[in-house]
């Protein structure tokens, strides 16, 4: 077993996805989701964490390894203490890439009080104004004569810094006081390479429908729940609009300079692939100015989608919109084709096989059935999201022909049911009908960008579902010790 990497006296809290079974002998949850058998120390810690709730508790010495494993698997999250940081603002340089209007940059720099700041002017049309604003706020300025893109601008900023940690902040962001000090303690864990705050929209100066929509559902807002960032988990990436990074964890070359969008996803996937942890800390909030113009907002969503092809070239198969079980896909296909009995038979067979695998490993068979049911629900939701985004031509054709064709009707239900539930649960200040309309535009714009990107790059795998192999989803903690931090 490996020694604990968590700083001493650090509380941890159980992830909200975790469920304990049979008195804590088994646990389900984590990132990615799995069923795990717990040893005596881990079981006792899990029960205590469940009892105290979100506030968490400090594991005792006998539970240190179990706590470390819970954090590694995303089944628990640290509640870092300020005294654990071991670093301060003098150890951080903030890099602000900018291009275009100067007013957002002025607001950004006005909020960045304390740390050293490097502004990288990425070929702005009015460099004198950018230089004046940087000088007024005491920031160092580096300029590109031509626009090279956000990744190249951040790399230039890195080349002009030497501190242990760097913070990337986009020029249209407004940080809150103490945000770096609140994120730094996460980096006291030597496995953590980067940590990002929650990014919330700044109230728009021009209250358009799009601005109201972004206030409720911003593409940069990863939600209120702390998570470990990992491919195949509920949170697969973080935006670098605001991100604190350990310099030694950055891959050689930093950001991919040829990526105009998706450069943040690529960087974090490479960091995670090297064995590092990346954390999301929603208790720290950074503001982000929204696009109030409908055209600019829709074009930006389209641009996000165009990262699919280039990302698939660098990370084959990972940008796929869904990863589905072959069994579940077969069951859903039978149901969509109007063969509910056959669909039930296929799914029952898959549950039986999974339960048998669990029993063969001397585990409760009903836990295997539970894992199968949860997997089916997850796969149905992913298929529905794909029909509204990357596969939207199929999804909306199904809606159009729902009255005439049983298959189209089934696909329409799969696509629209989750979306309808989201609309009903939303607190849209501009009305649910307008919210629904903008959600449709948002998803079609993103999906169109992904389809165009796949066609141009000839990487159709980026918009097609992946099939995951059927396998045992039960994991024994004692057989999978948490890895040591990567060497730097």
Q: What is the secondary structure of 238-265 as a DSSP string?
A: --TTEEEEEGGGSPTT-S-TT-SSSHHH
On whether both 123 and 66 belong to a single domain, the answer is no
Q: Which of 79, 102, 122 is the last residue of a domain?
A: 79
Tell me how far apart the alpha carbons of residues 362 and 153 are, in angstroms, rounded to a whole number.
55
Instruction: With respect to residue 283, please indicate whether it lies within any of the assigned structural domains.
Output: yes
Range of the domain at 443: 323-468
On whether both 236 and 335 belong to a single domain, the answer is no
Token pair of 102 as six digits: 């100067």
Q: What angle do CA 134, 139, 145 make, to 5 degrees?
A: 60
On whether both 349 and 287 belong to a single domain, the answer is no
On whether both 284 and 162 belong to a single domain, the answer is yes
Residue 57 per-residue DSSP state? B
3-state helix, strand, coil in the chain (%, to 5): 50, 15, 35
Are 74 and 227 in contact, with CB atoms under 8 Å apart?
Answer: yes
Residue 421 per-residue DSSP state? H
Instruction: With respect to residue 167, please indicate whether it lies within any of the assigned structural domains.
Output: yes
On whether both 23 and 106 belong to a single domain, the answer is no
Instruction: With respect to residue 4, please indicate whether it lies within any of the assigned structural domains.
Output: no
Instruction: With respect to residue 473, please indicate whether it lies within any of the assigned structural domains.
Output: no
Terminal alpha carbon distance of the chain: 22
Instruction: With respect to residue 211, please indicate whether it lies within any of the assigned structural domains.
Output: yes
> What is the predicted pLDDT for the residue at 482?
43
Tell me how far apart the alpha carbons of residues 419 and 439 are, in angstroms, rounded to a whole number.
9
Are 281 and 192 in contact, with CB atoms under 8 Å apart?
Answer: no
On whether both 50 and 113 belong to a single domain, the answer is no
On whether both 16 and 144 belong to a single domain, the answer is no
Q: What is the pTM of this model?
A: 0.89
Instruction: With respect to residue 451, please indicate whether it lies within any of the assigned structural domains.
Output: yes
- Collapsing DSSP states into helix, strand and coil, what is residue 281? strand
On whether both 71 and 112 belong to a single domain, the answer is no
Q: Which of 56, 79, 102 is the last residue of a domain?
A: 79
On whether both 263 and 341 belong to a single domain, the answer is no
Q: 469: how many CB neighbours lie within 10 A of its CB? A: 6
Instruction: With respect to residue 261, please indicate whether it lies within any of the assigned structural domains.
Output: yes
Task: Say if strands 26-29 and 34-37 run parallel, antiparallel, or are unpaired.
Answer: antiparallel
On whether both 70 and 130 belong to a single domain, the answer is no
Token pair of 400 as six digits: 């159009």
When divided into structural domains, the chain yields a total of 3
- Collapsing DSSP states into helix, strand and coil, what is residue 321? coil
Q: Which of 245, 268, 291 is the last residue of a domain?
A: 291
Gyration radius from the chain CA atoms: 24
Are 151 and 120 in contact, with CB atoms under 8 Å apart?
Answer: no
- Collapsing DSSP states into helix, strand and coil, what is residue 467? strand
Token pair of 128 as six digits: 């004198």
Token pair of 451 as six digits: 């389809």
> What is the predicted pLDDT for the residue at 83?
63
On whether both 254 and 162 belong to a single domain, the answer is yes
Token pair of 354 as six digits: 């999974």
Tell me how far apart the alpha carbons of residues 351 and 274 are, in angstroms, rounded to a whole number.
35
Instruction: With respect to residue 306, please indicate whether it lies within any of the assigned structural domains.
Output: no
Profile the chain (488 residues) by mean pLDDT over runs of 10 residues.
Answer: 67 93 92 89 94 88 91 92 74 95 92 94 93 95 95 96 96 94 92 96 79 85 94 89 96 93 95 95 93 88 96 94 88 86 92 86 86 89 93 94 88 89 75 87 96 96 84 41 46
Are 123 and 149 in contact, with CB atoms under 8 Å apart?
Answer: no
On whether both 123 and 245 belong to a single domain, the answer is yes
Model pLDDT for residues 442-452, shown as the tens digit of each residue: 999 999 999 99
């Amino acid at each position: 077993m490996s020694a604990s990497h968590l700083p001493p006296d650090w509380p941890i809290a159980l992830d909200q996805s975790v469920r304990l079974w049979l008195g804590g002998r088994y646990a389900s949850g984590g990132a990615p989701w799995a069923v795990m058998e717990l040893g005596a120390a881990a079981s006792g810690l899990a029960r205590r964490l469940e009892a105290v709730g979100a506030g968490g508790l400090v594991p005792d010495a006998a539970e240190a390894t179990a706590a470390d494993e819970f954090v590694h698997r995303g089944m628990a999250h640290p509640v870092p203490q300020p005294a654990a940081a071991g670093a301060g603002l003098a150890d951080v340089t903030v890099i602000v890439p900018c291009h275009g209007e100067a007013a957002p940059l002025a607001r950004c720099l006005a909020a960045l009080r304390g740390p050293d700041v490097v502004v990288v002017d990425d070929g702005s049309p009015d460099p004198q104004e950018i230089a004046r604003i940087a000088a007024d706020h005491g920031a160092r300025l580096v300029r590109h004569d031509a626009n090279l893109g956000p990744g190249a601008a951040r790399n230039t900023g890195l080349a002009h810094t030497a501190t242990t940690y760097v913070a990337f902040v986009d020029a249209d962001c407004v940080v809150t006081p103490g945000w770096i000090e609140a994120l730094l303690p996460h980096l006291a864990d030597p496995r953590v390479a980067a940590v990002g705050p929650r990014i919330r929209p700044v109230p728009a100066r021009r209250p358009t429908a799009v601005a109201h929509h972004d206030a409720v559902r911003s593409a940069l807002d990863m939600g209120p729940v702390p998570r470990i960032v990992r491919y195949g988990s509920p949170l697969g990436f973080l935006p670098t609009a605001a991100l604190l990074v350990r310099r030694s964890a950055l891959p050689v070359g930093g950001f991919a300079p040829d990526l105009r969008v998706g450069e943040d996803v690529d960087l974090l996937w490479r960091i995670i692939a090297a064995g590092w942890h990346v954390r999301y800390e929603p208790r720290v909030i950074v503001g982000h100015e929204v696009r109030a113009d409908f055209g600019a907002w829709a074009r930006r969503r389209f641009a996000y989608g165009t990262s699919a092809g280039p990302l698939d070239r660098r990370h084959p198969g990972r940008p796929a919109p869904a990863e589905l079980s072959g069994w579940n896909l077969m069951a859903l296909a039978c149901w969509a084709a109007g063969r509910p009995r056959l669909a039930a038979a296929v799914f029952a067979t898959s549950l039986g096989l999974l339960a048998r695998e669990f029993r063969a490993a001397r585990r409760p068979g009903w836990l295997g059935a539970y894992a199968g049911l949860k997997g089916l629900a997850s796969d149905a939701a992913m298929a529905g999201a794909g029909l509204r985004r990357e596969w939207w031509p199929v999804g909306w054709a199904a809606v159009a022909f729902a009255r005439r064709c049983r298959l189209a009707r089934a696909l329409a239900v799969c696509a629209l049911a989750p979306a309808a539930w989201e609309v009903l649960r939303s607190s849209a200040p501009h009305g649910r009908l307008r919210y629904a309309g903008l959600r449709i535009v948002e998803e079609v714009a993103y999906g169109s960008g992904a389809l165009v990107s796949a066609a141009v790059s000839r990487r159709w795998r980026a918009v097609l579902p992946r099939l995951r192999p059927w396998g045992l989803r039960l994991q024994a903690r004692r057989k999978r010790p948490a890895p040591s931090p990567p060497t730097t």
